[in-house]
Amino acid sequence: MPQPSAPRKNLGRPPRISREEIVEAARRIVTEAGVDRLTMRRLATEVGSTPMALYHHVRDKEELLVLLLDDYATRTLRRPELPADPRERIVVATTAIHEALAACPWIVEVLTADDLMSTSALWFVEQIVDGLVECGLSPEQAVHGYRAIWYYTAGEIVVRTTAARRRADDARATYREQVFADLDPNELPRLAQVADRWAPLTAQDTYLDGLRALVDGLLAGH
């Protein structure tokens, strides 16, 4: 008597996935392993699908990073109450962006891709550009001013976060500390004068002071 055949394995389409599930899985990967570990293949494995299926929802990794940025901004960026003074509006809007981005451990790596921007952050960009125009800059000058403010803000986050990671991963003296310990005061008198205080001084949070100085410089003469 012939034995009943084993049930056939269903080789149909992989489970249907949503863009929200993809973004959530991508967020888990970058939070746990970093942006460089985020690949379409790993993401597909995470959601139990195939890389080809993911491309129905996202064009490539860059679009995925934009979606992650927008997701993060939507969840964390809160529109502050803005002061009437346009100069202060610039500072308040920029500080809100800085605080939100600095709190995200993986955002630094994404920030280096300059063209990646969250649509949820555009309201803040609008306040900065509008404040610069109200202070006397032309729209074109205001765009350049915004870029200077953005580079300062993103750069501060990159440098501070990378330095903190370096100190956490390696307790040995940095190359700078080794060099500063042996400065020649005859050749570099000012640096030698502050060499033993350089590390604590540069570790201080002076972002807001620097931002105000930058804004004052951009608006000088207007």
pLDDT tens, the chain, 222 aa long? 545 444 444 444 555 788 889 999 998 998 888 888 889 999 999 998 888 888 888 888 888 888 888 888 888 888 999 999 999 999 999 999 899 888 886 776 677 666 666 777 889 999 999 999 999 999 999 999 999 999 999 889 888 887 777 766 666 777 888 899 899 999 999 999 999 999 889 889 999 999 999 999 999 988
Cα angle vertex 138, ends 136, 140, to 5°? 145
Give the residue among 148, 117, 118, 165 at the shortest CA–CA distance from 215.
148
Q: Helix 61-76 to helix 40-47 angle, to the nearest 10 degrees?
A: 60
CB proximity list for 160: less than 8 A, separation 6 or greater: 102
Torsion angle of C-alpha atoms 217, 91, 167, 107, degrees rounded to 10: -120
pTM as predicted:
0.77
CB 136 within 8 A of CB 90: no
Q: Which residue is it, tokens 């973004």?
A: 23
- Looking at residue 148, its amino acid is A
- CA-to-CA distance for 112 and 194, rounded, in angstroms? 31
Mutual angle of helices 122-134 and 139-169, in 10-degree steps: 130
Q: Cβ(132)–Cβ(141) under 8 Å? A: yes
pLDDT at residue 8 in the model: 45
Note the pLDDT of residue 116: 64
| 40-67 confidence digits (pLDDT tens) | 999 999 998 888 888 888 888 888 888 8
- The per-residue pLDDT for range 186-202, each reduced to its tens digit, is 999 999 999 999 988 98
